[in-house]
Chains A and B, each alone.
Chain A
Amino acid sequence: MSVLRFDNVSKQYPGGHVALADVSFEIQAGEMLFVTGHSGAGKSTLLKLIHLAERPSRGAVLFGERNLMKVRGRRVALHRREVGVVFQDHRLLADRSVFENIALPLILRGMRRGEIGKRVRTVLDKLGLAARERALPTQLSAGEQQRVGIARAVVCEPRLLVADEPTGNLDPTLSAEIMALFASLPERGTSVLVASHDLGLVKRMKRRVLVLDHGTLADDISPEDLADA
């Protein structure tokens, strides 16, 4: 079953810069894949189109049965609740505790307080952050902050998790731990799309890889082909 489909998607920003040109691909439910390419290749724009920070200039982005071109107004917010996003710079709210940061998406969904506490603590346990739930983001290391960002993205069990350079500032050991965590998500029904320019990391994960080059989809490499490469 398809979770996400790009049909001949192009994105041109005001001013004329073409970030994506005629890109088509599909992500299946429970699939984990990478999108890679040099800086400016269009990775971030691709992710923005998925969580509706931007709209395509041409083509169609389908999220399940939903055409994102038709999603307007309040439904933009409802769509975003089904897509978990992890940023390289974490984007945690500095004046809220770890617990409050992770609880935010659940509060937005109108979840009961008891259920929020239960879910947040489960995720905190899984990510080894149980002892840090009352800490402020500024009191955490870079690795811990990234794990809080991931916890916030996965706490709602989204259909799709998109991560933009999630290991950019982390050491190799921590990067591997985070990738292992991402790799476990498809078992729980969450598809994962990771944007990364770290080719070593991408190769080690042995997953499907989309290669962007100057806004075009230069290659779509299967795990088998990657193993042979």
Chain B
Amino acid sequence: MPEPSARIEPRPAPNAHSSAMGTWFDHHLYSLVASLGRLLGKPWATALTVGVMAVALALPLGLWLVLGNVERFAGQVQQSREISVFLKPDVTADRAQALLRELRARRNVGRVELRTPQEGLAQLREKSGLGDAIDAAGDNPLPFLLVVTPAGDETLLADGLRQLPEADLVQHDTQWRARLDGWLRFGGRLAWVLATLLGLGALLVVGNTVRLDIQSRREEIGVLQLLGATDGFIRRPFLYLGAWYGALAGALAIALLTAAGAGLQRPLADLAASYGSRFALAGFAPQQIAMVLVGATLLGWLGAGVVTGHYLRQTRPTDT
């Protein structure tokens, strides 16, 4: 008698079976339809699950969106920042013009403007409203001023300008910029930490929902197993269910944030306009929407996969 083995040889049934690809497609179609049926069969429970997941996803996504806008705003502010070089009082107009030409020739200088003491005084008179007092003072105490717009590393440029023998005072607030950069880095990290924690929360929400669904269908799963359903066949409708939850929650999170952004757009535009800025909130770009939807779908799929895998391991025939 040959050695007993664990080999499985299905009974032959010529032309009765689909191709492997056909079977795979049929089983996926079966799972897709079954999972949709479960979603639509319990609309209230589906809405609650999707709602909770959407809020969990919207919080880090919202922070991400805010940070993107702050970075954009900060970029605009930094681009318009200039270095003011006040020349010593004894620097003549010819020397100031020579310096202007010299700086224009530098590669790390984008633009240079020379303001004479007379122009400075006129500007002061106009902006301060102290015209009579200034006229009464007699001599113009203001020096020549070079307003430099950097084209490269502005810190390096500011340091170089400080070395000029004609420079009396160089105004360039690097500390302000360093602080802003620090806050932006912190915000970015905070967004990732929140995304991780709330993403885990979303994963647990899907996992728990699928777990409850599995519990309510234990009998059906048991029957399918006895009929010869593989783990993959049983797992698939739940994976699709998780993926549906994730995709719907991602879409709802985007819709919530877009609605919130639309609500804030007008007051923010008014606020920016009062500072002479035309800054406007930016929403999600199409590739960002695609990324969020794919990510949320995968999150749902993963949550369902973990829970279903755990359940199926528990139902294996026991060895004692």
Q: Which of A49-57, A139-147, A176-184 contacts B (4 or more CB under 8 A)?
A: A49-57
Rounded to whole Å, the gap between the CB of B91 and the closest CB of chain A is 87
Residue on B with the closest CB to A107? B30
* A157 CB-CB contact with B under 8 Å: yes
* Given A55-B319, A91-B219, A159-B11, A108 and B4 contact (CB-CB distance below 8 Å): no
Encoded as 1 (CB less than 8 Å from any A CB) or 0, chain B from 6 to 41 comes to: 111011010111101011001100100000000000
Q: Which A-chain residue is minimally distant from B8 (CB atoms)?
A: A78
Does B17 contact A112, Cβ atoms closer than 8 Å?
yes
**Number of B residues, CB within 8 Å of A:** 37
Interface centre among B4, B20, B229 (most CB of A within 10 A): B4
A146 vs B269: C-alpha distance in the bound complex, in angstroms? 72
Bound complex: CA A5 to CA B60 (Å): 61
Q: Please tell me which stretch of A30-38, A65-73, A166-174, A191-199 contacts chain B, meaning at least 4 of its Cβ atoms lie within 8 angstroms of it.
A: A65-73
Q: In whole angstroms, how far apart are the Cα atoms of A67 and B30 in the complex?
A: 33
- Report chain A residues within 8 Å CB of B30: 107
Contact B231 A105 (CB under 8 A): no
A57 to nearest B CB, angstroms?
5
Q: Judge whether B230 is part of the interface by a CB distance below 8 angstroms.
A: yes
Cβ-defined contact, A111 with B320, below 8 A: no
CB < 8 Å: which of B11, B18, B317 contacts A82? B11
Contact of B5 among A12, A65, A92 (CB under 8 A): A65
Known contacts A60-B4, A109-B17, A110-B18; is-contact A104 B10 (Cβ 8 Å): no
Cα–Cα distance between A80 and B228 once the two chains are bound (Å): 5
Asked if B223 and A108 make an inter-chain contact with CB atoms under 8 angstroms apart, the answer reads no
Interface: A25 (CB within 8 A):
no
Q: Are the C-beta atoms of A112 and B6 separated by less than 8 Å?
A: no
Q: What's the least CB distance linking A7 to chain B, in Å?
A: 10
B113 at the interface (CB under 8 A from A): no
Residue from A11, A66, A82 within 8 A of B7 (CB atoms): A66
CB distance from B98 to the nearest CB of A (A): 86
Interface 0/1 of A80-92, CB less than 8 Å to B: 1110010000011
Residue among A13, A14, A79, A109 having the largest count of chain B Cβ atoms under 10 Å: A109
Cβ-defined partner of A77 (8 Å) among B26, B228, B318: B228
Is the Cβ of B230 less than 8 Å from the Cβ of A74? yes
Q: Does B220 contact A (CB under 8 A)?
A: yes
Query: By the criterion CB–CB under 8 Å, are A152 and B227 in contact?
Result: yes
B226 at the interface (CB under 8 A from A): yes
* Partner pick for B10 among A55, A66, A67, A82, CB 8 A cutoff: A82
Residue of A nearest to B320 (CB): A57
Cross-chain pair count, CB within 8 angstroms = 112
In the complex, what's the smallest C-beta–C-beta distance from A1 to chain B, in angstroms? 12
Give Cα A59 to B219, complex, Å.
30
Chain B 61-97, CB-CB to A under 8 Å as 1, else 0, gives: 0000000000000000000000000000000000000
Q: Residue of B at shortest CB range from A89? A: B219
Task: Enumerate chain A residues within 8 angstroms of B320, measured Cβ to Cβ.
Answer: 11-14, 55, 57
A218 at the interface (CB under 8 A from B): no
B225 interfacial by beta-carbon distance below 8 Å: yes
B272 located at the interface, meaning its Cβ lies under 8 Å from any Cβ of chain A in the complex = no
Is A227 on the interface with B (CB-CB < 8 A)?
A: no
Q: How far is the CB of A204 from chain B (nearest CB, A)?
A: 29
Residue B212 at the chain A interface, CB threshold 8 Å: no
Asked if B7 and A104 sit within 8 Å, CB to CB, the answer is no
Tell me if B11 and A157 are in contact (CB < 8 A).
Answer: yes
Complex Cα spacing A77 to B235, Å: 14
* Docked pose: A70 CA to B8 CA in angstroms: 11
Are the CB atoms of A111 and B18 closer together than 8 Å?
Answer: yes
A77–B231 contact, CB under 8 A? yes
> Would you give the shortest CB distance from B147 to chain A, in whole angstroms?
75
Distance in Å: Cβ of A114 to nearest Cβ of chain B: 9
16 interchain pairs, CB-CB under 8 A: A11-B320, A12-B320, A52-B317, A55-B317, A55-B320, A57-B320, A66-B5, A66-B7, A76-B317, A78-B228, A81-B228, A104-B224, A108-B227, A111-B13, A112-B22, A115-B15
